[in-house]
Amino acid sequence: KQEVTQIPAALSVPEGENLVLNCSFTDSAIYNLQWFRQDPGKGLTSLLLIQSSQREQTSGRLNASLDKSSGRSTLYIAASQPGDSATYLCAVSPVTQGGSEKLVFGKGTKLTVNP
Amino acid sequence: NAGVTQTPKFQVLKTGQSMTLQCAQDMNHNSMYWYRQDPGMGLRLIYYSASEGTTDKGEVPNGYNVSRLNKREFSLRLESAAPSQTSVYFCASSEASWFLQETQYFGPGTRLLVL
């Protein structure tokens, strides 16, 4: 059974710092890996989707990498801002669950960026 | 374009009562999903629907039923609520399919408390 782990569970940094969030998964047979952001009391917002054949994706100050063979992904946030404070969730689409439409989520990393 | 909408936003039930959570999307997506989010457990898939007229069980389907009323709407029903069903419920939709990799779009959630 695919398991997704995110470390650390919580992270607090000063504004302006570059930071890395980690995600690991137990089965490398995936269609894709996705990063989401969740603000308190809100739903999830998609940030980046990396297909299994890709190594990384970038959007603005965000860069996500994927090393499928080692079962790891990182989300790099450059020049962090207080508005980046949220919980970041990693999810994979396991091949064993059929098509690419199903996701298995990690428990998230709660990020606080202090002004 | 409202995206994914959910009703109600918050509900309190007594053990044994029934209720239906409503979800609608206006993005013409084929796939729709119901998740529950519990502290320390992350998001877990309850049911999903790959297309109008089809539904399939996810990781935690016991105690729930679903209906894909049409392409826009996907409802989740609790026939006899239990305290263990106290959770935040999220609906999502996607254009993802067996062969097409797309992200999921989430609603704002329904907070359910079962006493």
Q: What is the pLDDT of residue A100?
A: 62
Give the whole-number percent of chain A exceeding pLDDT 90.
86
Q: How far apart are CA B35 and CA B87, in angstroms?
A: 10
Which H helix or E strand runs over A10? strand A10-14
Chain A (72-111) residues lying within 8 Å, Cβ to Cβ, of chain B: 89, 91, 93, 98-103, 105-108
Min Cα–Cα distance to chain B from A47, Å: 9
Distance from CA of A43 to the nearest CA of B (A): 4
Q: How many CB pairs below 8 Å do chains A and B form together? A: 64
B98 contacts in chain A (CB < 8 Å)? 98-101
Determine, for residues B108 and A42 on separate chains, whether the beta-carbon distance falls below 8 Å: yes
| B9-44: pLDDT as tens digits | 999 999 999 999 999 999 999 999 999 999 888 899
Confidence band, pLDDT 50/70/90 cuts, at residue A99: low
Interface of B with A in 34-63 (CB under 8 A): 40-45, 48, 50, 58
Count how many Cα atoms sit within 13 Å of the Cα of residue B13 in the half-sphere of its side chain: 26
Distance from CA of B69 to the nearest CA of A (A): 20
pLDDT of residue B101: 76
**Euclidean distance between CA atoms A104 and A25, whole angstroms:** 10
Residue range A27-44, pLDDT digits in tens: 999 999 999 999 998 999
Give yes or no for residue A47 having a pLDDT over 70.
yes
pLDDT digits (tens, 9 = 90+) for B35-87: 999 988 889 999 999 888 899 999 999 999 999 989 999 999 999 999 999 99
Concatenating the DSSP letter of every residue in A36-83 gives EEE-TTS-EEEEEEEETT-SEEEETTEEEEEETTTTEEEEEE-S--GG
> In the structure, what pLDDT confidence band is assigned to residue A70 with cuts at 50, 70 and 90?
very high
Closest CA to A89 of B21, B104, B25: B104
Report whether pLDDT(A24) > 90. Answer: yes
Q: Which residues of B touch A100 (CB under 8 A)?
A: 96-101
Q: Higher pLDDT residue, B99 or B76?
A: B76
DSSP states along B47-83: EEESSTT--EE-S--TTEEEEE-SSSBEEEEESS--G
Return d(Cα A88, Cα A75) in angstroms, integer: 9
Cβ–Cβ gap A101/B109 under 8 Å? no
Q: Which residue has the tokens 């998001």?
A: B43
Q: ∠A27-B36-A111 over CA atoms, to 5°?
A: 70
How many CB atoms are located within 10 Å of the residue B50 CB?
A: 21
Using the predicted structure, report yes or no on whether residue A101 has a pLDDT greater than 80. no
